[in-house]
Amino acid sequence: MRDVLRSMPGPVFLESDRLSLRTVESEDREFIRSHWNSPELRHWFAKTDPIDSERLSDFLETNDTEVHFLPCRDSVPVGFLWLFRIDDVAGRGEIGYWVSPEEQGNGYATEAAELGLRYAFNERGLHKVMARVFEGNKTSQRILEKLGFEEEGYLREHYFVDGEYVDTRFFGLLADDK
Ligand SMILES: CC(C)(COP(=O)(O)OP(=O)(O)OC[C@H]1O[C@@H](n2cnc3c(N)ncnc32)[C@H](O)[C@@H]1OP(=O)(O)O)[C@@H](O)C(=O)NCCC(=O)NCCS
């Protein structure tokens, strides 16, 4: 709650029935940093380095290959969503998301990802969006299936997480699949 109060998301960029995707502003960094360092969330991204202010600033730095959004209910952030490895020549990018533990189970990740995909296909003009999911992340896999992604690849022991190698599934969604 403390983090949410400190957060002050930027203007609405896209919106759906319950959520908006807003720009990430400097006041939102504490919200992102506190959640992203929590073992509960970072476990699923294999984030092994602590994300201090400097690292977060580097990560959030504007460039041509990444876009960051704060999914919000009214103006309260419920998580984080980003498109990365955007390759405008290949027309391809990857999507990532997390929802803060107290906001999970409400369909927010699915709704936020739908908005992110709308941006990727309709505004950014991408042809394909990829997602990678660790084996065992049934929740994220379910989200991708709901959104129409197809599993395209399975990489064995691809990441090292909490002392063991984990298999990883790659999913893809084409603009034409929508
Ligand atoms: C994954 C995550 C983003 C989901 O957020 P969320 O807002 O709770 O997700 P949603 O409510 O939109 O959808 C979850 C879906 O998974 C389903 N689900 C939940 N637990 C499940 C399980 N163990 N097995 C199968 N499906 C499951 C839910 O029922 C729901 O599907 P439904 O709408 O058909 O009922 C959130 O748990 C999170 O931040 N996890 C850590 C970070 C992470 O894993 N990010 C993705 C990395 S690829």
pLDDT in tens, 155-172: 999 999 989 999 999 999
Atom of ligand 1 nearest to the CA of 111: 12
Phi, psi (deg, nearest 5) at residue 25: -110, 170
Residue 48 is predicted with a pLDDT of 79
pLDDT higher than threshold 90 for residue 7: no
Report the separation in Å between the CA atom of 107 and the middle of ligand 1, taken as the mean of its atom positions. Answer: 8
Question: d(Cα 108, Cα 128) in Å, to the nearest integer?
Answer: 22
Nearest CA to ligand 1 atom 23: 138
pLDDT higher than threshold 80 for residue 47: no
Closest CA to 44 of 20, 80, 71: 80
Closest CA to 94 of 130, 68, 66: 130
User: Tens digit of pLDDT for each residue in 14-35?
Assistant: 999 999 999 999 999 999 999 9
Token code pair at residue 176: 């034409």
Report the separation in Å between the CA atom of 108 and the middle of ligand 1, taken as the mean of its atom positions. Answer: 9
Q: Please, what are the domains in the chain?
A: 4-125 (3.40.630.30)
